[in-house]
Amino acid sequence: MKRVRVVVVGAGVIGFSTAVCVAEALPTCAVTLVADRFSPDTTSDVAAGILFATQFPDIPVERQTRWFKDSFDHLLAIAQSDQAPDAGVLLTSGCQIFREVPTQKVPFWSELVFGFRFLTERELRRFPEHCFGQAFTTLKCESSSYLPWLEKRFRRAGGEVQQRTVSSLQELAGSYDLIVNCSGLGAGALAGDGQVHPVRGQVLKVRAPWITHFIRDGDGLTYIFPGVHSVTLGGTRQAGDRRREADPADSEGILRRCGRLEPSVAAAEVLSEWVGLRPGRRNPRVERGAPVAEDGGRRVPVVHNYGHGGGGVTLSWGTAVDTLGLVRQCLCEMPLQARL
Ligand SMILES: Cc1cc2nc3c(=O)[nH]c(=O)nc-3n(C[C@H](O)[C@H](O)[C@H](O)COP(=O)(O)OP(=O)(O)OC[C@H]3O[C@@H](n4cnc5c(N)ncnc54)[C@H](O)[C@@H]3O)c2cc1C
Protein backbone atom coordinates (compact mmCIF):
# COMPACT_ATOMS: atom_id res chain seq x y z
CA MET A 1 0.00 0.00 0.00
CA LYS A 2 1.26 3.50 -0.87
CA ARG A 3 2.03 5.48 2.31
CA VAL A 4 0.74 9.03 2.68
CA ARG A 5 3.77 11.37 2.71
CA VAL A 6 3.50 13.83 5.61
CA VAL A 7 6.03 16.61 6.16
CA VAL A 8 6.38 18.45 9.48
CA VAL A 9 8.24 21.78 9.28
CA GLY A 10 10.10 22.67 12.50
CA ALA A 11 12.46 20.92 14.92
CA GLY A 12 11.53 22.77 18.12
CA VAL A 13 9.41 21.26 20.87
CA ILE A 14 6.25 21.83 18.80
CA GLY A 15 7.58 20.20 15.61
CA PHE A 16 9.11 17.16 17.29
CA SER A 17 6.10 16.56 19.59
CA THR A 18 3.78 16.73 16.59
CA ALA A 19 6.01 14.53 14.44
CA VAL A 20 6.17 11.87 17.17
CA CYS A 21 2.38 11.95 17.68
CA VAL A 22 1.70 11.53 13.95
CA ALA A 23 4.40 8.91 13.27
CA GLU A 24 3.39 6.74 16.25
CA ALA A 25 -0.38 6.98 15.71
CA LEU A 26 -0.47 6.67 11.91
CA PRO A 27 1.84 3.93 10.66
CA THR A 28 0.25 4.31 7.20
CA CYS A 29 2.02 7.70 6.91
CA ALA A 30 5.67 8.22 6.00
CA VAL A 31 6.61 11.22 8.15
CA THR A 32 9.56 13.52 7.38
CA LEU A 33 10.58 16.42 9.63
CA VAL A 34 12.44 19.30 7.95
CA ALA A 35 13.99 22.33 9.64
CA ASP A 36 16.87 24.71 9.29
CA ARG A 37 17.75 24.79 13.02
CA PHE A 38 17.99 21.81 15.36
CA SER A 39 18.78 21.43 19.05
CA PRO A 40 20.67 23.18 20.65
CA ASP A 41 19.95 26.12 18.28
CA THR A 42 16.15 26.47 18.58
CA THR A 43 14.10 28.78 20.80
CA SER A 44 12.88 25.65 22.57
CA ASP A 45 16.43 25.02 23.80
CA VAL A 46 16.41 28.37 25.63
CA ALA A 47 13.15 27.72 27.51
CA ALA A 48 13.39 27.06 31.22
CA GLY A 49 10.75 24.47 30.38
CA ILE A 50 8.50 24.99 33.39
CA LEU A 51 4.94 23.73 32.92
CA PHE A 52 3.04 26.86 33.67
CA ALA A 53 0.50 28.79 31.61
CA THR A 54 -0.87 32.25 31.15
CA GLN A 55 -4.33 32.27 29.61
CA PHE A 56 -4.75 33.13 25.91
CA PRO A 57 -7.61 35.58 25.30
CA ASP A 58 -9.59 33.98 22.45
CA ILE A 59 -9.28 30.23 22.96
CA PRO A 60 -11.95 28.52 25.09
CA VAL A 61 -10.49 27.78 28.50
CA GLU A 62 -11.63 24.15 28.16
CA ARG A 63 -9.33 23.75 25.15
CA GLN A 64 -6.41 25.41 26.95
CA THR A 65 -7.04 23.18 29.98
CA ARG A 66 -6.95 20.10 27.72
CA TRP A 67 -3.66 21.25 26.15
CA PHE A 68 -2.15 21.74 29.60
CA LYS A 69 -3.50 18.44 30.97
CA ASP A 70 -2.41 16.34 27.98
CA SER A 71 1.10 17.82 28.20
CA PHE A 72 1.29 17.45 31.98
CA ASP A 73 0.12 13.82 31.95
CA HIS A 74 2.46 12.91 29.09
CA LEU A 75 5.50 14.51 30.76
CA LEU A 76 4.57 13.22 34.24
CA ALA A 77 4.62 9.66 32.88
CA ILE A 78 8.14 10.31 31.56
CA ALA A 79 9.25 11.94 34.83
CA GLN A 80 8.08 8.85 36.72
CA SER A 81 9.79 6.38 34.37
CA ASP A 82 13.39 5.24 33.91
CA GLN A 83 13.51 7.62 30.90
CA ALA A 84 13.44 10.73 33.13
CA PRO A 85 17.20 11.49 33.14
CA ASP A 86 17.61 10.95 29.36
CA ALA A 87 14.51 12.98 28.54
CA GLY A 88 15.37 15.72 31.04
CA VAL A 89 11.91 15.79 32.66
CA LEU A 90 11.50 16.20 36.43
CA LEU A 91 9.02 17.31 39.07
CA THR A 92 9.83 20.65 40.65
CA SER A 93 8.30 22.65 43.54
CA GLY A 94 8.28 26.33 44.30
CA CYS A 95 6.21 29.46 44.28
CA GLN A 96 4.88 32.32 42.21
CA ILE A 97 4.70 35.66 44.01
CA PHE A 98 2.83 38.89 43.25
CA ARG A 99 3.29 42.55 44.15
CA GLU A 100 -0.49 43.02 43.91
CA VAL A 101 -3.16 40.41 44.44
CA PRO A 102 -4.03 39.13 40.92
CA THR A 103 -7.63 39.22 39.70
CA GLN A 104 -7.45 35.47 39.11
CA LYS A 105 -6.05 34.13 42.37
CA VAL A 106 -6.76 30.56 41.29
CA PRO A 107 -5.55 30.00 37.70
CA PHE A 108 -7.23 27.54 35.31
CA TRP A 109 -4.40 25.01 35.71
CA SER A 110 -4.45 24.98 39.53
CA GLU A 111 -6.03 21.51 39.72
CA LEU A 112 -3.71 20.03 37.10
CA VAL A 113 -0.47 20.71 38.98
CA PHE A 114 0.11 19.14 42.40
CA GLY A 115 -0.55 20.69 45.80
CA PHE A 116 -1.67 24.15 44.64
CA ARG A 117 -2.18 26.48 47.61
CA PHE A 118 -1.66 30.11 48.62
CA LEU A 119 1.50 31.09 50.48
CA THR A 120 1.05 31.75 54.18
CA GLU A 121 1.90 35.14 55.70
CA ARG A 122 4.92 33.55 57.33
CA GLU A 123 6.20 32.29 53.96
CA LEU A 124 5.57 35.69 52.35
CA ARG A 125 7.78 37.44 54.92
CA ARG A 126 10.72 36.31 52.83
CA PHE A 127 9.50 38.52 49.95
CA PRO A 128 8.85 41.97 51.47
CA GLU A 129 7.98 43.55 48.09
CA HIS A 130 5.24 40.95 47.43
CA CYS A 131 1.86 40.52 49.12
CA PHE A 132 0.44 37.32 47.59
CA GLY A 133 1.81 33.99 46.45
CA GLN A 134 0.94 30.53 45.16
CA ALA A 135 2.90 27.36 45.94
CA PHE A 136 2.71 24.27 43.73
CA THR A 137 4.60 21.34 42.27
CA THR A 138 4.82 21.18 38.49
CA LEU A 139 7.14 19.70 35.86
CA LYS A 140 10.32 21.00 34.30
CA CYS A 141 11.16 19.78 30.82
CA GLU A 142 14.71 20.58 29.75
CA SER A 143 14.57 20.90 25.98
CA SER A 144 18.29 20.35 25.39
CA SER A 145 17.72 16.76 26.61
CA TYR A 146 14.08 16.41 25.62
CA LEU A 147 14.49 17.38 21.95
CA PRO A 148 17.22 14.77 21.20
CA TRP A 149 15.13 12.24 23.16
CA LEU A 150 12.04 13.05 21.05
CA GLU A 151 14.13 12.85 17.88
CA LYS A 152 15.24 9.30 18.80
CA ARG A 153 11.63 8.34 19.52
CA PHE A 154 10.55 9.82 16.18
CA ARG A 155 13.23 7.86 14.27
CA ARG A 156 12.23 4.66 16.12
CA ALA A 157 8.69 5.21 14.81
CA GLY A 158 10.10 5.29 11.26
CA GLY A 159 10.38 9.09 10.92
CA GLU A 160 13.02 10.75 8.77
CA VAL A 161 14.79 14.04 9.47
CA GLN A 162 16.23 16.54 6.96
CA GLN A 163 18.07 19.79 7.55
CA ARG A 164 17.02 22.44 5.02
CA THR A 165 15.43 25.86 4.77
CA VAL A 166 11.88 25.91 3.42
CA SER A 167 11.20 29.10 1.48
CA SER A 168 7.46 28.49 1.00
CA LEU A 169 4.92 25.78 1.84
CA GLN A 170 4.17 25.47 -1.92
CA GLU A 171 7.72 24.26 -2.39
CA LEU A 172 6.80 21.13 -0.37
CA ALA A 173 3.61 20.38 -2.29
CA GLY A 174 5.36 18.48 -5.09
CA SER A 175 6.97 15.97 -2.71
CA TYR A 176 4.37 15.49 0.05
CA ASP A 177 0.64 14.74 0.42
CA LEU A 178 0.11 16.70 3.66
CA ILE A 179 2.01 19.60 5.26
CA VAL A 180 2.14 20.31 9.02
CA ASN A 181 3.53 23.74 9.80
CA CYS A 182 5.27 23.92 13.21
CA SER A 183 7.79 26.59 12.27
CA GLY A 184 7.39 28.88 15.31
CA LEU A 185 8.55 32.37 14.47
CA GLY A 186 9.24 31.22 10.89
CA ALA A 187 5.47 30.84 10.41
CA GLY A 188 5.23 34.60 9.98
CA ALA A 189 6.79 34.20 6.54
CA LEU A 190 5.73 30.63 5.71
CA ALA A 191 2.04 31.15 6.51
CA GLY A 192 2.01 34.86 5.62
CA ASP A 193 0.83 35.57 9.16
CA GLY A 194 1.39 39.18 10.23
CA GLN A 195 0.34 38.39 13.82
CA VAL A 196 3.52 36.40 14.48
CA HIS A 197 6.25 38.47 16.10
CA PRO A 198 9.44 37.84 18.09
CA VAL A 199 9.50 38.28 21.85
CA ARG A 200 13.17 38.13 22.79
CA GLY A 201 14.10 36.31 25.98
CA GLN A 202 17.51 36.18 27.64
CA VAL A 203 18.41 33.84 30.51
CA LEU A 204 21.53 32.87 32.45
CA LYS A 205 22.54 29.38 33.54
CA VAL A 206 24.34 29.46 36.88
CA ARG A 207 25.89 26.90 39.22
CA ALA A 208 23.93 27.13 42.50
CA PRO A 209 23.13 23.60 43.69
CA TRP A 210 21.84 24.94 47.00
CA ILE A 211 18.80 26.43 45.23
CA THR A 212 16.24 23.64 45.06
CA HIS A 213 12.90 25.49 44.84
CA PHE A 214 11.74 27.72 42.00
CA ILE A 215 10.60 31.33 42.46
CA ARG A 216 8.69 33.16 39.73
CA ASP A 217 7.58 36.77 39.95
CA GLY A 218 3.97 36.99 38.75
CA ASP A 219 4.92 39.68 36.22
CA GLY A 220 6.72 36.90 34.32
CA LEU A 221 9.93 38.90 34.04
CA THR A 222 12.00 37.54 36.91
CA TYR A 223 12.43 33.87 37.75
CA ILE A 224 14.78 31.33 39.30
CA PHE A 225 14.30 27.75 38.09
CA PRO A 226 16.62 25.01 39.40
CA GLY A 227 17.26 22.17 36.94
CA VAL A 228 19.35 19.01 36.58
CA HIS A 229 22.68 20.60 35.63
CA SER A 230 22.21 24.27 36.53
CA VAL A 231 19.80 26.94 37.73
CA THR A 232 18.12 29.15 35.10
CA LEU A 233 17.85 32.84 35.99
CA GLY A 234 15.58 35.03 33.90
CA GLY A 235 14.66 36.90 32.12
CA THR A 236 13.52 39.44 29.55
CA ARG A 237 10.49 39.88 27.30
CA GLN A 238 11.39 42.26 24.50
CA ALA A 239 8.66 42.35 21.88
CA GLY A 240 9.83 43.03 18.33
CA ASP A 241 13.51 42.52 19.23
CA ARG A 242 15.29 40.03 16.92
CA ARG A 243 18.79 40.15 18.44
CA ARG A 244 20.06 36.64 19.09
CA GLU A 245 23.22 37.65 20.89
CA ALA A 246 23.36 38.08 24.69
CA ASP A 247 23.23 41.65 25.97
CA PRO A 248 25.49 42.31 29.02
CA ALA A 249 23.05 44.92 30.33
CA ASP A 250 20.26 42.32 30.30
CA SER A 251 22.45 39.84 32.19
CA GLU A 252 23.24 42.48 34.79
CA GLY A 253 19.55 43.29 35.19
CA ILE A 254 18.65 39.59 35.54
CA LEU A 255 21.26 39.04 38.28
CA ARG A 256 20.11 42.16 40.13
CA ARG A 257 16.40 41.27 39.98
CA CYS A 258 16.94 37.61 40.90
CA GLY A 259 19.21 38.66 43.76
CA ARG A 260 16.32 40.62 45.26
CA LEU A 261 14.24 37.43 45.39
CA GLU A 262 17.06 35.12 46.42
CA PRO A 263 20.16 36.93 47.77
CA SER A 264 22.36 33.79 47.55
CA VAL A 265 22.29 34.20 43.74
CA ALA A 266 25.21 36.62 44.28
CA ALA A 267 27.41 33.62 45.14
CA ALA A 268 26.47 31.65 42.01
CA GLU A 269 28.94 31.08 39.18
CA VAL A 270 27.56 32.16 35.79
CA LEU A 271 27.99 29.27 33.34
CA SER A 272 26.37 30.62 30.16
CA GLU A 273 23.97 33.15 28.64
CA TRP A 274 21.18 32.14 26.27
CA VAL A 275 18.85 34.08 23.99
CA GLY A 276 15.68 32.84 22.30
CA LEU A 277 12.99 34.48 20.20
CA ARG A 278 9.56 33.37 21.41
CA PRO A 279 7.02 32.96 18.60
CA GLY A 280 4.64 35.64 19.88
CA ARG A 281 1.00 35.66 18.74
CA ARG A 282 -2.26 36.72 20.38
CA ASN A 283 -3.28 33.03 20.48
CA PRO A 284 -1.50 29.90 19.23
CA ARG A 285 -2.76 28.82 15.81
CA VAL A 286 -3.77 25.15 15.87
CA GLU A 287 -6.07 24.68 12.91
CA ARG A 288 -6.30 23.70 9.27
CA GLY A 289 -5.11 26.32 6.81
CA ALA A 290 -5.74 26.87 3.11
CA PRO A 291 -4.37 23.99 1.04
CA VAL A 292 -1.43 24.77 -1.24
CA ALA A 293 -1.47 23.83 -4.91
CA GLU A 294 1.23 21.74 -6.50
CA ASP A 295 2.36 22.67 -10.07
CA GLY A 296 0.17 19.89 -11.49
CA GLY A 297 -2.87 21.41 -9.74
CA ARG A 298 -3.14 18.81 -6.93
CA ARG A 299 -4.19 20.55 -3.70
CA VAL A 300 -2.16 19.57 -0.64
CA PRO A 301 -3.78 20.08 2.79
CA VAL A 302 -2.01 22.19 5.41
CA VAL A 303 -2.34 21.98 9.20
CA HIS A 304 -0.83 24.74 11.36
CA ASN A 305 0.53 24.42 14.90
CA TYR A 306 2.53 27.53 15.83
CA GLY A 307 2.50 30.79 17.79
CA HIS A 308 2.84 29.39 21.34
CA GLY A 309 4.63 32.49 22.67
CA GLY A 310 6.05 31.94 26.16
CA GLY A 311 4.21 28.64 26.71
CA GLY A 312 5.34 26.26 24.01
CA VAL A 313 6.86 23.61 26.25
CA THR A 314 3.78 23.65 28.49
CA LEU A 315 1.39 23.19 25.59
CA SER A 316 3.55 21.08 23.29
CA TRP A 317 2.01 17.64 23.74
CA GLY A 318 -1.56 18.92 24.05
CA THR A 319 -1.39 20.94 20.84
CA ALA A 320 0.37 18.03 19.11
CA VAL A 321 -2.56 15.76 20.03
CA ASP A 322 -4.99 18.33 18.56
CA THR A 323 -2.86 18.57 15.44
CA LEU A 324 -2.93 14.80 15.08
CA GLY A 325 -6.75 15.04 15.10
CA LEU A 326 -6.62 17.60 12.28
CA VAL A 327 -4.21 15.41 10.30
CA ARG A 328 -6.64 12.48 10.67
CA GLN A 329 -9.46 14.70 9.34
CA CYS A 330 -7.38 15.59 6.28
CA LEU A 331 -6.58 11.92 5.66
CA CYS A 332 -10.27 10.99 5.80
CA GLU A 333 -11.04 13.62 3.17
CA MET A 334 -8.24 12.60 0.81
CA PRO A 335 -9.32 10.91 -2.40
CA LEU A 336 -9.09 7.14 -1.94
CA GLN A 337 -6.48 6.75 -4.72
CA ALA A 338 -4.08 9.00 -2.75
CA ARG A 339 -4.21 6.54 0.13
CA LEU A 340 -3.91 3.32 -1.92
C1 LIG B 1 13.84 32.79 27.72
C2 LIG B 1 12.68 31.88 27.42
C3 LIG B 1 12.12 31.13 28.45
C4 LIG B 1 11.03 30.31 28.19
N5 LIG B 1 10.51 29.56 29.20
C6 LIG B 1 9.46 28.73 28.96
C7 LIG B 1 8.93 27.92 30.00
O8 LIG B 1 9.42 27.90 31.13
N9 LIG B 1 7.85 27.15 29.70
C10 LIG B 1 7.29 27.11 28.47
O11 LIG B 1 6.30 26.41 28.27
N12 LIG B 1 7.79 27.85 27.45
C13 LIG B 1 8.85 28.66 27.67
N14 LIG B 1 9.36 29.44 26.66
C15 LIG B 1 8.65 29.45 25.37
C16 LIG B 1 9.07 28.31 24.47
O17 LIG B 1 10.47 28.28 24.36
C18 LIG B 1 8.44 28.48 23.07
O19 LIG B 1 7.06 28.66 23.18
C20 LIG B 1 8.70 27.23 22.25
O21 LIG B 1 10.08 26.96 22.21
C22 LIG B 1 8.17 27.37 20.81
O23 LIG B 1 8.51 26.18 20.16
P24 LIG B 1 8.47 26.05 18.59
O25 LIG B 1 8.80 24.63 18.29
O26 LIG B 1 7.20 26.62 18.07
O27 LIG B 1 9.60 27.05 18.07
P28 LIG B 1 11.17 26.86 17.89
O29 LIG B 1 11.79 26.15 19.02
O30 LIG B 1 11.68 28.22 17.55
O31 LIG B 1 11.28 25.94 16.60
C32 LIG B 1 10.92 26.40 15.31
C33 LIG B 1 11.50 25.45 14.29
O34 LIG B 1 11.03 25.83 12.99
C35 LIG B 1 12.13 25.87 12.11
N36 LIG B 1 11.86 26.78 11.01
C37 LIG B 1 11.30 28.01 11.06
N38 LIG B 1 11.21 28.53 9.82
C39 LIG B 1 11.73 27.61 8.97
C40 LIG B 1 11.93 27.58 7.56
N41 LIG B 1 11.55 28.57 6.78
N42 LIG B 1 12.50 26.47 7.03
C43 LIG B 1 12.88 25.43 7.81
N44 LIG B 1 12.71 25.42 9.14
C45 LIG B 1 12.14 26.49 9.72
C46 LIG B 1 13.28 26.33 12.98
O47 LIG B 1 14.52 26.02 12.39
C48 LIG B 1 13.03 25.49 14.23
O49 LIG B 1 13.53 24.19 14.05
C50 LIG B 1 10.48 30.23 26.88
C51 LIG B 1 11.09 30.95 25.84
C52 LIG B 1 12.18 31.76 26.09
C53 LIG B 1 12.83 32.50 24.97
Neighbours of 162 (CB within 10 A): 10
312 belongs to an annotated ligand binding site: yes
Residue 286 identity (one-letter amino acid):
V
Distance of alpha carbon 31 from alpha carbon 267, whole angstroms: 48
Kindly state if the Cβ of 48 falls inside 6 Å of ligand 1: yes
The full set of domain ranges for the chain reads 4-90+140-195+282-339
Fold of 4-90+140-195+282-339: Rossmann fold (3.40.50)
**How far away, in angstroms, is 43 Cα from ligand 1 center?**
4
Which residues, 6 or more positions from 77, have their beta carbon under 8 angstroms from its beta carbon?
A: none
Q: What are the phi and psi torsion angles at 286 (to 5°)?
A: -125, 90
Of ligand 1's listed atoms, the one at least distance from the Cα of 50 is: 8
215 SS3 class? strand
Q: How much is the pLDDT for 93?
A: 98
Residue (of 293, 309, 281, 323) closest to 180 by Cα position: 323
Q: Look at residue 336 in the predicted model and tell me its pLDDT.
A: 60
301 Cα–ligand 1 center, Å: 24
Measure 12 CA to ligand 1 centroid, in angstroms.
Answer: 5
pLDDT on residue 227:
95
Task: Answer for the pair 13, 47: CB distance below 8 angstroms, yes or no.
Answer: yes
Q: How far is CA 34 from CA 8, 145, 163, in A?
A: 6, 20, 6
Determine whether the annotation assigns residue 313 to a binding site.
yes
The CA R_g of the chain, rounded to the nearest whole Å, is 21
Euclidean distance between CA atoms 147 and 142, whole angstroms: 8
DSSP class of 127? -
pLDDT at 2: 80
| Ligand 1 and 186: CB distance under 6 A | yes
Looking at ligand 1, which residue's alpha carbon is closest to its atom 22?
Answer: 312
Q: Is 206 annotated as a binding residue?
A: no
Distance of CA 173 to the CA centre of its chain: 27
Residue 197 · residue 306 · CB < 8 Å: no
Are 6 and 18 in contact by the 8 Å Cβ rule? The answer is: no
CA–centroid distance, residue 42 to ligand 1 (Å) = 6
User: Residue 272: is it exposed, middle or buried by C-beta count within 10 angstroms (0-12/13-18/19+)?
Assistant: exposed
Q: Is 126 annotated as contributing to ligand binding?
A: no
Helix crossing, 143-156 with 13-25: angle to 10°? 20
H or E segment to which residue 74 belongs = helix 61-79
**How many angstroms does the Cα of residue 183 sit away from the middle of ligand 1?**
8
Q: Is 140 helix (H, G, I), strand (E, B) or coil?
A: strand
For 123, the enclosing helix (H) or strand (E) is: helix 121-124
Question: Tens-of-pLDDT digits for all 340 residues of the chain?
Answer: 689 999 999 999 999 999 999 999 999 999 999 999 999 999 999 999 999 999 999 999 999 999 999 999 999 999 999 999 999 999 999 999 999 999 999 999 999 999 999 999 999 999 999 999 999 999 999 999 999 999 999 999 999 999 999 999 999 999 999 999 999 999 999 999 999 999 999 999 999 999 999 999 999 999 999 999 999 999 999 999 999 999 999 999 999 999 999 999 999 999 999 999 999 999 999 999 999 988 778 899 999 999 999 999 999 999 999 999 999 999 999 876 555 5
Dihedral angle computed from the Cα positions of residues 133, 108, 60 and 181, in that order, rounded to the nearest 10 degrees:
80
